[in-house]
Amino acid sequence: MNRSTHRKLEAQELFEAGEASQAEASDTGQAEGFSRRVFLGGVGAAAAVAAAGLIGCAPAPAPAADAGADEDAATGGQADAAADAPVTTGPAATGGAPGFLTPPPVPADIAEVLDCDVLVVGVGLAGVAALREAAEAGKKVIGVEKQEAFGVVSMAGDFGVVGSQIQKDLGIEWAPKSVIVNQLQKDMTYRPNPVLFNYWYDHSGEDFDWLVEGAEFEVLPSTAANKATDLPNYIRPKCFPPLEGYDYRTEYFPYFHGTITTNPNMQWACENSLKVAQGLGAEVLFGTWGEQLITDGSGAVTGAYVHDKDGVYRQINAKSVVLATGDFGNNAEMRDYYVPWANEFVCFYTQMDPLGVPCNTGDGQLMGIWAGGEMELGPLAPMTHHMGGALGVNAFLQLNLEGKRFMNEDIPGQNIADQLSRQPGKGSWQIFDAKWPEQLLSQPTGHGYVNYFVPDDKMAEYETVLAGFGLGYTTNQMVEDAVTCKADTIEDLAAQMNLPADVVAAEIARYNELCAQGSDDDFGKDPRRLYPVAEAPFYACEFGSAGMLVVMGGLTTDLDLRVLDATGKPVPGLFATGNNMGGRFLVEYPVTVAGVSLGTALSFGRLAGRNAAA
């Protein structure tokens, strides 16, 4: 078995061990000055209330329901690139270097030679943005994509972009750049490059308008608004209008409102730009793996060797190459080496190559390394959102699998997953009582939270949002269907959870005491979210291990997205974007801005295409 086959089998085993979550539903909109059909539907006062998201992020060409994902849009990409190297599962015996650092041999038989100005390896969100931008610059552009047809992460639709015309028309105003960029940096212990986020803040809105210009879609005026047209594609704002009284300045983990979501997912928006690029002459070779880059005697990148599923090779000569193949979450060797602490998480990634293997196997990172590029300094940031239970990741009491309280529950799902990794059995129980409907409005807001209770007689007013993942809205029946345990006594609840009744009773008594005094002396939870567990019936939702969507981590680049070598000098002719570029997300993926992954992938994909064309 060669190393390429070995990797594919490992990736497939990881994929089959999990299940892909799906996203919500979608529309279309028109902003002033756009050559597209736009519709701003009206909505009643009740439907104008803000919503909080309940869905994570990821890929697939077929629509899901409403997309609420934060996942990076650079999906697909290129082949497993070490066909004849020895099989390894960790650092190689020689010098302790991992086996994946050994490049494959140069192919001996080339069936065809192609020439272009710009070669884009990987045509997902970031790749299609690079493809289109280079084509609009008048360059001859070729893209290679190992999927058999164009498709992006099916669960991905959240675009954390700032200042688009659509947002302006909806009345969305973001917090100041200094506030948001500094908070993102704090969330990631100030390891990423803040200048990259300044660029994102300044340009992502216009980049989003550019992405969807010319497409047909409806724009919903609020998260909870019902669709008003029969257009299949639509855009809704997320958690908008903001929860009344919410002030990010008072929050331990602030959430910044303004994200917009493409529904059913981002497929149609990316297809729109692909059609523009193809109309300008850009060519995309689907079912084609990028295997390794071609360099000249000076070390400059001059193209790439690519192949199809039958192993037929082409040589594509190019003046510049953009790597946009996505992450390496389904490459077991790279995970072992770069993010071993994330090996407890199954990577939920549904985009498959023609051989039935998940596409996110680190092909672009490997190609860049083999050509002299440097992988960025970690710790890298796996996207391990926990989406909670019947009431999302709301700040209700949490007990671990020994029945003990273990944290301040007022934290987002990404951070809940971190805490569960250190608990016995890597799981917990979320506990709340009969008063939950009246406690939602004081919960945190944002990605993964539930803030609005919809009575049975009001459900028709929320038909569109309730038909998907709720995005912060829920009903009695939705909660009843989703809770793991329900009981009239704490003793019965403990028995159903298979926890010691005396421990559970003591922990709840202590928690209720803290709630009564209005101060969490044990873990410091915000007093606004201290609600006693006192009125039957009592509910428990089991929190298991979170899934992993992608691993954030790529090649070191400069601000022009040129790939840098170990000395900090650019590798001539080589650019990286999306999850192939470094500097965006490190240590921890931040959820204070929903969709910042897609927003930055879009902006830096476009920038990479522009610079590669130049």
Neighbours of 249 (CB within 10 A): 7
The CATH number given to whatever domain includes residue 420 is 3.90.700.10
Same domain, 288 and 326: yes
Same domain, 496 and 347: no
Same domain, 293 and 416: no
551 in helix, strand or coil? Answer: strand
Same domain, 142 and 69: yes
pLDDT band (50, 70, 90) for residue 306: very high
pLDDT tens digits, one per residue of 361-400: 999 999 999 999 999 999 999 999 899 999 999 999 999 9
Q: Is residue 448 part of a domain?
A: no
Task: Evaluate the CA torsion angle 383, 75, 257, 22 in order and state its sign.
Answer: negative
Half-sphere exposure of 176 (CA within 13 A, CB side): 4
Q: Is residue 457 part of a domain?
A: no
Provide the number of structural domains found in the chain: 2
Neighbours of 527 (CB within 10 A): 12
Q: Is residue 419 part of a domain?
A: yes
Domain end (from 490, 520, 543): 543
Mean pLDDT of 170-185: 98
First to last CA, the chain: 43
Residue 93's pLDDT is 34
175, 107 Cβ separation under 8 angstroms: no
pLDDT tens digits, one per residue of 10-67: 333 333 333 333 333 333 333 333 222 222 332 222 333 222 222 222 223 333 344 4
Chain centroid to CA 59: how far? 10
The CATH number given to whatever domain includes residue 165 is 3.50.50.60
- Answer with the residue of higher pLDDT: 468 or 158: 158
Same domain, 91 and 177: yes
Q: Is residue 454 part of a domain?
A: no
Domain end (from 543, 571, 593): 543
Same domain, 203 and 332: yes
Q: Is residue 458 part of a domain?
A: no
Residue 12's pLDDT is 36
380, 192 Cβ separation under 8 angstroms: no
Same domain, 341 and 403: no
Q: Is the pTM of this model over 0.95?
A: no
Residue 17's pLDDT is 34
293, 373 Cβ separation under 8 angstroms: no
Residue 348's pLDDT is 87
Copy the structure tokens of residue 24: 């919500």
Pairing of strands 570-576, 283-286: unpaired
Residue 324 has pLDDT above 50, yes or no: yes
Helix, strand, coil shares of the chain as percentages rounded to 5? 30, 20, 50
Copy the structure tokens of residue 441: 């409005």
Same domain, 503 and 403: yes
Same domain, 90 and 212: yes
Percent of the chain beyond pLDDT 90? Answer: 81
Residue 470's pLDDT is 72
pLDDT tens digits, one per residue of 523-575: 999 999 999 999 999 999 999 989 999 999 999 999 999 999 999 999 999 99
Residue 441's pLDDT is 96
- Answer with the residue of higher pLDDT: 42 or 512: 512
Q: Is residue 453 part of a domain?
A: no
pLDDT band (50, 70, 90) for residue 73: very low
- 431's enclosing H/E stretch is strand 428-432
Same domain, 355 and 401: no
Q: Is residue 574 part of a domain?
A: no
Residue 349's pLDDT is 87
Find where tokens 């609420």 sit.
68
Structural domain for 612, as ranges:
1-100+110-360+375-383+548-555+583-614
Residue 331 has pLDDT above 80, yes or no: yes
Residue 95's pLDDT is 53
- Give the closest residue to 327 by CA, choosing from 375, 271, 279: 375
Domain end (from 543, 569, 593): 543
Averaged confidence pLDDT in the chain: 87
175, 160 Cβ separation under 8 angstroms: no
Same domain, 439 and 293: no
Q: Cα separation of 220 and 206, whole Å?
A: 19
For 106, residues 6+ apart whose C-beta sits below 8 A from its C-beta are: 292, 305
Q: Is residue 571 part of a domain?
A: no
Question: How does DSSP classify residue 242?
Answer: P
- Give the closest residue to 580 by CA, choosing from 302, 391, 380, 358: 380
Same domain, 356 and 401: no
